[in-house]
Amino acid sequence: MNVIEEVKLFNFSDYVVKGSTNALAKNKEGILLGAGVADKLSIDVGGTVQISNINGQIYNLKVVGIYQSGMADYDNTQSFANIKTVQKILGEGTNYISDINVKLKNVDLAPEMAKELQRMHNITAKDIQQANAQFETGTSIRNLITYAVSFTLLLVAGFGIYNILNMIIYEKMNDIAILKATGFSGSDVKWIFMYQAILIGLIGGIIGLIIGFGVSVLISHAPFTTEALPTIKTYPVNFDPMYYVIGVVFALTATFFAGYLPAKKAQNIDPVDIIRGQ
């Protein structure tokens, strides 16, 4: 592989648990072993492995690093060396390349790009969704569960706001009657309660975001170790601002609809009936 380009495009160095990619780039006779391969051979950085090609030629390569991707199928079978070294071992020319990895800014375009490459160059192209179908399915299910739980919590909060505003209206019947008797229209009364609902949603949303961000920061500093992600030492947390925007929009939307029905009821209250009832 082209070590420098691999590191730049695919963050390959993040998976190197011993040694470094720089050592591989500088050493033409170096090799990066998968963690599983290194365990089977009982070898560490600085050791030497012998590589034999189909013609029986033996090549000695120095172990300059060990990588661990977290996927046993790869770690137990794959190792990496400089592209010129591999071409030499295989007995191929400098123009021989078996695989090309393409990185896109928008990963959703991968299936379309794979079809286009197959059509244009008559090659076999596999997109990331196809190569990681099982992982993509699991991610989609987790996202669906997350959004379902979030929606349920907001729905429950919306019913709470609806009940609060309903109680306020019953307690403020006399005030509503006085407002209407002094010239306030039903629309004015309705928007008084709508503003209360929106204010509850806005303040609650902002407080929730602050608390959520604080908890996320604490979680992001909590120790986290797993063989699947050897270079990650703390819990990975996504601080994408879009999630916070979605939270505020959901909070305002839920409180708006929760406050609409009670406000509509306040709009239709007849002050004569209220005063007569007194």
How sure is the predictor about 214, in pLDDT bands with cuts at 50, 70 and 90? Answer: very high
Same domain, 115 and 196: no
Same domain, 155 and 89: no
> Into how many domains does the chain fold?
3
Q: What is the pLDDT of residues 46-59, one digit of tens each?
A: 898 888 888 888 88
The one-character DSSP state at 29 is T
Q: How far is CA 203 from the centre of its chain?
A: 27
Q: What is the pLDDT of residues 72-122, one digit of tens each?
A: 777 888 888 888 888 888 888 888 887 777 878 887 788 888 888 888 888
The one-character DSSP state at 52 is E
Same domain, 199 and 264: yes
Domain that holds residue 121: 104-131
- Return the percentage of the chain with pLDDT > 70, whole number: 91
Q: What residues have CB less than 8 Å from 133, skipping those under 6 apart?
A: none
Q: Dmax over Cα atoms in the chain, in whole Å? A: 107
Same domain, 195 and 263: yes
Does residue 28 carry a pLDDT above 60? yes
Using DSSP, state whether 273 is helix, strand or coil: helix
User: What's the CATH number where 51 sits?
Assistant: 2.40.40
Same domain, 64 and 94: yes
- For residues 180 and 273, what is the distance between their CA atoms, to the nearest angstrom? 12
How sure is the predictor about 247, in pLDDT bands with cuts at 50, 70 and 90? Answer: confident
Same domain, 112 and 153: no
Same domain, 181 and 255: yes
Same domain, 115 and 176: no
Q: Which one-letter amino acid corresponds to residue 40?
A: K
Q: How far is CA 23 from the centre of its chain?
A: 32
**Stated pTM of the model:** 0.57
Measured in degrees and rounded to the nearest 5, phi and psi for residue 31 equal -150, 145
Does residue 275 carry a pLDDT above 70? no
What tokens appear for 12 in the block?
A: 């390959």
| Average pLDDT score over residue span 127-137 | 70
Does residue 278 carry a pLDDT above 60? no
Beta strands 79-80 and 30-34, pairing class? antiparallel
CA separation (Å) from 78 to 15, 37, 117, 253, 261? 13, 8, 26, 51, 63
Cβ(146)–Cβ(238) below 8 Å: no
Same domain, 23 and 69: yes
Beta strands 30-34 and 58-67, pairing class? parallel
33: left (phi over 0), alpha (psi -120 to 50) or beta: beta
